Amino acid sequence: MEAMGKLKRGISRQFSLGTSLDKPGSFRFWRQPSLDPKRGNATRFGFGRQSSLDPNKRSTSREPGLTVPENLDATMQLLFMACRGEVKGVEDLLKEGVDVNSIDLDGRTALHIAACEGHADVAKLLLGWRANIDARDRWGSTAAADAKHYGNAEVYNLLISRGAKAPKTRRTPMTVSNPRDVPEYELNPLDLEVRRGPETPKGVYQVAKWNGTRVSVKMFDKEAYSDPDSINAFKHELTLLEKVRHPNVVQFVGAITQMQPMMIVSEYLPKGDLGSYLQQKGRIPTIKALTFALDIARGMNYLHECKPDPIIHYHLKPKNIFRGDDGQLKVAGLGLINIQKVSPDKFKLMHPMPDNDSSYVAPEVYRNEEFDRSVDVFSFGLILYEMIDGSPAFHDKPPEDAAKMICLEGMRPPIKNKSKSYFSYLKELIEECWDPQPAVRPGFAEIIIRLNKIYANCAKQSRWKDNFKFPWK
C-alpha cells in the first residue's frame, strides 16, 4: 500500500513548474523524469515551434492529446492557450488578471508563441490587451521575427501594421540551415555582457562577462562579412582554438557564429600581455626570464606536436603572450593570419604580412617564402633576447626598419657577455634559435631540455649567493 501511494503521488507530480533564479517571476514548464528508466533524463516540454533565433531548436511537433495540467501556473496556461490558438481561453485568463506580457524562462511571451504558430486571432487579441509588440526573448527574437521566420504572413503583416519593427537580417556567413549543425562551441549571446566603447580597435580583445565570469572577447569586424578571406581566417582560428588544451595556451571558451556580431570568447588573463610587462619592467632577472621562456616553449611545443598537422603560430611576439593570475605565461593569437599547406611540412602565408608588424618574424616569412615550424623558434629567440637584454632587438629603430635589418640584412643585436657560468649556454641557445638557416634552429622539445639545464644551473648559483654571508656585511 505504501509503495502504491508513492506511485500515485509520483504520477500526480508528473507535471510541475520551474522558476528562474535569474528572473524572479519567470517560469519554464517541463516534464519530470518518466517512471520508465529507459527514457533517461527529464526532457523539456515544448510549446511547438521555438524561437527563430534559438540556436538549439527543439522538435516542432506537438504531443497529441496533450491537455492543460490542472496545477499549471497561470502564466504558462496563457502561453499554452496561445500555442493551441484558443482565443476564448486566452481571453478568459487575461480577464482573470494574468499579465499579457508575462514570460517563461526563455523570455517568451504569448505573442511570441502565437506568432510562431500563426494564430492571427490570438495575436490580435493580445495586441488589444496592449501586449509588448517588440518584446525580445532570450535570443533577441521578436514576435515579428518569429512570424517572418515561420512564414506566417497574416500575423507578420498584422504586427507590422500595428507598429512592430521590421526584423533585420541577422544571419552571418557561418549560419547553418540545420539546427543540428550548430557548432558545439556556440554560446548564447544573452549570457555574454560586452561593453564596447567607440575607442575599442577592431579585432582587439576586450573584457566581458560570461555567466558572471570575466572573459576576453574578440569581435569580428562587420565590414569583413563579405570578405571571403576574412571569413576563412575566422573559421581557421576557430578550428585551431577548438582543439587546443594546454596550461600554457590561452583557453578557448566558445564563440558566437550564428548571430551578429560574431565573436571569439577565451579565458581572461588579468595581468595583461608580456609585451606591456617588459615595456614596464625592462630587463627582468634571469631566473624569471628562464621561467617565462619555459612557459612559452612548453606551449609552443604542444602546438607543434599536434596531430595530424602541427599548429604553427608564425606570429609569435610578446603582445600575443599573456600572464595569468599566478604569473604563468600562455600563448594566444593563434590563426590570426591564414596560411596554406604546400607540402606535409611546408607552409606559406595567404597574404604577406605588413612591414610594421614583422619585427619578430623569421626571414622566410618576411620574404613571403615557404616555411616550416622553425619560424616560431626564430621568434622565440628574439623574445628570449628581449627578456634577457631588457629591450627589443634594434629598439632604437622603427619596427619596419628593425625587421629589414634582421630579415634582409641578416643583422642581429649584440648579446652582452655576463660573468655567470651558465650565460654562455643561454647565449648559444639564442643564437641557434635566430639562425637564418631553419635547419640550424632547435625544436621546442630540445629547447625545453636545454632551458631546464640552464635554469637548474642559474638557480644553484642564486641559492649559493643568497646563502653565503660576508662577515663585513
CATH number for the domain spanning 219: value is 3.30.200.20
Taking the alpha carbons of 466, 469, 472, 473 in that order, is the dihedral positive or negative?
Answer: positive
Asked if residue 394 and residue 316 are part of one domain, the reply reads yes
401 and 441 inside one domain = yes
20 and 138 share one domain: yes
CA distance 269 to 328: 10
| Mean local confidence (pLDDT), 243-259 | 91
- The answer to whether position 5 is within a domain reads no
> What is the model's pLDDT at position 321?
95
Task: Provide the strand spans (E) within 247-398.
Answer: 252-256, 263-267, 321-323, 329-331, 339-343, 346-349
Percent of the chain surpassing pLDDT 70: 78
Same-domain pairing of 436 and 395: yes
107-119 tens-digit pLDDT:
889 999 999 999 9
Compute how many other C-beta atoms are within 10 angstroms of the C-beta atom of residue 123.
29
**Domain co-membership, 348 together with 283:** yes
Answer whether residue 1 shows pLDDT above 70: no
Instruction: Give the per-residue pLDDT at 67.
Output: 56
260 and 128 within one domain: no
pLDDT at 4: 41
Q: Are residues 18 and 128 in the same domain?
A: yes
The confidence score (pLDDT) of residue 196 equals: 58
CA-based Rg of the chain, rounded to a whole angstrom? 30
The predicted model gives 74-94 an average pLDDT of: 92
Region 243-254 average pLDDT:
93
Q: Which of 67-76, 134-143, 174-183 has the highest mean pLDDT?
A: 134-143
State residue 150's pLDDT score.
Answer: 85
Residues 59 and 129 in one domain: yes
Instruction: Decide which of 246, 267, 288 is a domain's last residue.
Output: 267
Sequence length of the chain is 473
Query: What are the pLDDT digits (tens) for 158-169?
Result: 999 999 987 665
Look at residue 318 and tell me if it is in a domain.
Answer: yes
Structure-model confidence comparison of residues 206 and 112, the more confident one: 112
Q: Which among 234, 267, 300 is the end of a domain? A: 267
Give the CATH number for residue 362. Answer: 1.10.510.10
Mean pLDDT over 409-434 rounds to 88
Q: Average of pLDDT values for 287-313? A: 94
The confidence score (pLDDT) of residue 46 equals 52
What's the average model confidence in pLDDT over 88-106?
92
Question: Which residues lie closer than 8 Å to 206 by C-beta, 6 or more apart?
Answer: 194, 195, 196, 200, 216, 217, 218, 219
Q: What is the pLDDT of residue 118?
A: 93
Average pLDDT over residues 435-446: 97
Three cell numbers, residue 151? 512564414
What the block records as the C-alpha cell of 102 is 508575462
Q: What is the model's pLDDT at position 364?
A: 94
Residue 472, in any domain of the structure: no
C-alpha separations of 415 from 236, 281, 289, 387, 429 in Å: 38, 19, 15, 12, 11
Domain boundaries, position 398: 274-467
Name which residue leads in pLDDT, 251 or 237: 251
Q: Which residues pair with 254 in a beta bridge?
A: 265
In 3D space, the residue among 203, 185, 293 whose CA is nearest the CA of residue 240 turns out to be 185
In this structure, the answer to whether residues 124 and 247 fall within a common structural domain is no
Question: What's the pLDDT at 463?
Answer: 63
Specify if 250 maps to a domain.
yes
The CATH number assigned to the domain holding 113 equals 1.25.40.20
Look at 20-24, 112-116, 206-210 and tell me which has the smallest mean pLDDT: 20-24
Residue-level pLDDT at 320: 92
Q: Which of 23-37, 228-242, 387-401 has the highest mean pLDDT?
A: 387-401
User: Domain end: 224, 246, 267, which one?
Assistant: 267
Q: Do 90 and 198 reside in the same domain of the chain? A: no
Q: Where are the alpha helices (DSSP H) in 130-285?
A: 143-149, 153-161, 228-243, 274-281
The winner for highest mean pLDDT among 44-53, 232-241, 265-274, 431-440 is 431-440
Burial 14-33 (b: 16+ CB within 10 A, else e): ebeebeeeeeeebbbbeeee
Q: Is the peptide bond before 471 cis (omega within 30 degrees of 0)?
A: no
- Whether 405 is in a domain gets the answer yes
Mean pLDDT within 130-137? 91
Angle subtended at Cα 172 by Cα 168 and Cα 173, rounded to the nearest 5 degrees? 145
What are the φ and ψ backbone dihedral angles of 416, each rounded to 5 degrees? -65, 130
Residue 322 pLDDT exceeds 50: yes
Residues 316 and 287 grouped into a single domain? yes
Paired residues of 399 in beta bridges? none
Domain-embedded: residue 224: yes
Query: Positive or negative, the Cα torsion across 161, 163, 165, 167?
Result: negative
Of 287, 273, 281, give the one whose Cα is nearest residue 451: 287
Are 189 and 302 members of one domain?
Answer: no
Calpha distance 325→250 (Å, rounded): 13
335 lies in some domain: yes
Q: In total, how many domains does the chain have?
A: 3
Does the pLDDT of residue 72 top 80, yes or no?
A: no
Q: How far apart are CA 328 and CA 71, in angstroms?
A: 55
Question: Residue 359 pLDDT > 50, yes or no?
Answer: yes
Report whether pLDDT(20) > 80: no
Note whether residue 6 is domain-resident.
no
- In contact, 113 and 79? CB cutoff 8 Å: yes
Task: Point out the least confidently predicted range of 35-49, 75-89, 233-247.
Answer: 35-49
Answer for the pair 387, 293: CB distance below 8 angstroms, yes or no. Answer: yes
State the average pLDDT for the chain: 80
